[in-house]
Amino acid sequence: MTDSVTSDSVMTIDGEAVTGEGAFDVLDPATGAPMGSAPQCSPAQLDRAMRSAQRAQKSWALDHEARRKAMHEAAEIMRNSAPELGPEFTREHGAPVQHAVGQIIISAAWLDYFADLELPASTVRTLPDRTIEISRRPIGVAAAITPWNAPILLAVWKIAPALAAGATMVLKPSPHTPLTTLALGRLLSAALPPGVLNVISGLEPLGQQLVSHPVPRKIAFTGSIPTGKAVGVAAAHDLKRVTLELGGNDAAIVLDDADIDAVVEPLFQSAFANSGQICEATKRVYVPERLYRRLLDALADRARAARVGSGLEPGVEMGPLTTDFQRDHVEDLVQEARAAGATIAAGGNRLPGDGYFFEPTVLGNVREGTRIVDEEQFGPALPVLAYKDLDEAVERANATMYGLSGSVWSTDLQRARSVAARLETGRVKINTFGLPSPDAPFGGVKWSGVGVENGPWALEAYTDLHVTEIGVGSH
């Protein structure tokens, strides 16, 4: 155990620091050894958190100006905490420390943005004998569940719109990366009234208990498709509203006019940033046969040049995978593809030692029907597939139940736009990798999700519509 900010972590329930009924180890993915421990929230403590969120919600909803001030203050606290929290984030997650610090600073922008966002009431129709006014009311208490790949950003994507809407929250981070989120809960309690944001942690069945608890009227979940479906089913029993942000298998389609030299770096970043553990990372590349060899070799050269190591070491570009099972999953998919005849243009192996490192890997001679093409690898291994004509490439990109995002790479913007319009995804990028912003909706179609986060759409998702019909003669 160390004396770092997160090692003796506590939950935040009703504004207070609360230890769990038991604790569980959090591992450092760079070493595989415990780096801290997190509290296990008991059912009684969960209930206390829910009740405190329920109590706090009434007064939190009443005063918009107080919410605005508190959220800007919370944003400032978050930015100031980044240098201290960043290394702790790296130690539980693995990402290079500059990325960790960057994620915390960027996330604060969501608190600022939503603090100032309003959903004005409107009058949709005035008949001679009546006026109909439409407004939005906060949804009450929201329960939020986050994954391990971007713990702070994805937490704030839920906290900021919920709090701005006048809802309150009980948030549960992934048990693989709970510590930075728990620390954030403590820090933000300096700006937020007790009960407005409760942060709890624990191994399963805590997530299931959160979803089935009678208090929350809304579940905001980011994670895998199988868990997302289970959350949707559980929420349906109580007709709770859901936002589900789930997995992706994003295709990048390189057109035959693409400038390969210009494409390689952003395409590499789109697939390998955060060691490939990004929901909207490029997970398969389609390239015309004529350009296939050139792009494969260039991506392989770039992958070999990437410096992999502990995120705490200066100059490291890619850290370990965050969990051992994710590293094992990527390794299985690469081995299976290799056995099916894929060529390994770069990488292909785990690194020796106890950390969860895997070489940045580029695969060629691989087809649909291989799991690394058909499923979400969520790691640093990228299949490159040749296509004959563009219609075929679009069809292959769309032949999946994933529908999160995708990208098109071309020097002809008109053509790129027309291909982008045909991708069956919630988002698509042209000649760039994804950089989410607070005001642009983020979400998927098909099995990649239900609803969106960010922008006014996210604020709406923490409210219910309320319609007032006023008869003639009313004053």
Question: Contact positions toward ligand NAD, by CB under 6 A?
Answer: 145-150, 154, 172, 174-175, 204, 207-208, 211, 222-224, 227, 230-231, 245-248, 279, 376, 378, 404, 444, 449
Backbone phi and psi for residue 27, each to the nearest 5 degrees, phi listed first: -100, 150
Nearer CB in complex with ligand NAD: 310/425: 425
Nearer CB in complex with ligand NAD: 146/410: 146
For ligand NAD, the nearest residue by Cβ is 207
The least distance separating ligand NAD from the CB of residue 22, rounded to whole angstroms, comes to: 16
Q: How far apart are CA 114 and CA 144, in angstroms?
A: 17
Nearer CB in complex with ligand NAD: 248/438: 248
Residue with tokens 């894929």: 342
Nearer CB in complex with ligand NAD: 14/453: 453
Closest CA to 436 of 32, 170, 102, 90: 102
The least distance separating ligand NAD from the CB of residue 464, rounded to whole angstroms, comes to: 23
- How do beta strands 429-430 and 406-409 pair? parallel
The least distance separating ligand NAD from the CB of residue 146, rounded to whole angstroms, comes to: 6
Whether 56 and 378 have beta carbons less than 8 Å apart is answered as: no
Q: How far apart are CA 290 and CA 131, in angstroms?
A: 64
Q: How far apart are CA 342 and CA 335, in angstroms?
A: 9
Cβ-Cβ contacts under 8 Å for 346 (sequence gap 6 or more): 299, 300, 301, 303, 304, 359, 360, 361, 362
Among candidate residues 88, 245, 317, 359, the one labeled active-site is: 245
Strand partners, 23: 39
The least distance separating ligand NAD from the CB of residue 241, rounded to whole angstroms, comes to: 16
Whether 14 and 48 have beta carbons less than 8 Å apart is answered as: yes
Nearer CB in complex with ligand NAD: 97/246: 246
- The yes-or-no answer on residue 41 being catalytic is no
- In this structure, the number of other CB atoms found within 10 A of the CB of residue 69 comes to 13
The least distance separating ligand NAD from the CB of residue 134, rounded to whole angstroms, comes to: 29
Nearer CB in complex with ligand NAD: 147/348: 147
Q: How far apart are CA 246 and CA 280, in angstroms?
A: 10
The least distance separating ligand NAD from the CB of residue 280, rounded to whole angstroms, comes to: 7
Strand partners, 172: 145
Among candidate residues 88, 279, 331, 453, the one labeled active-site is: 279
- The yes-or-no answer on residue 245 being catalytic is yes
User: What residue type is assigned to position 21 of the chain?
Assistant: E
Structure tokens that stand for 37 in this block: 């421990």
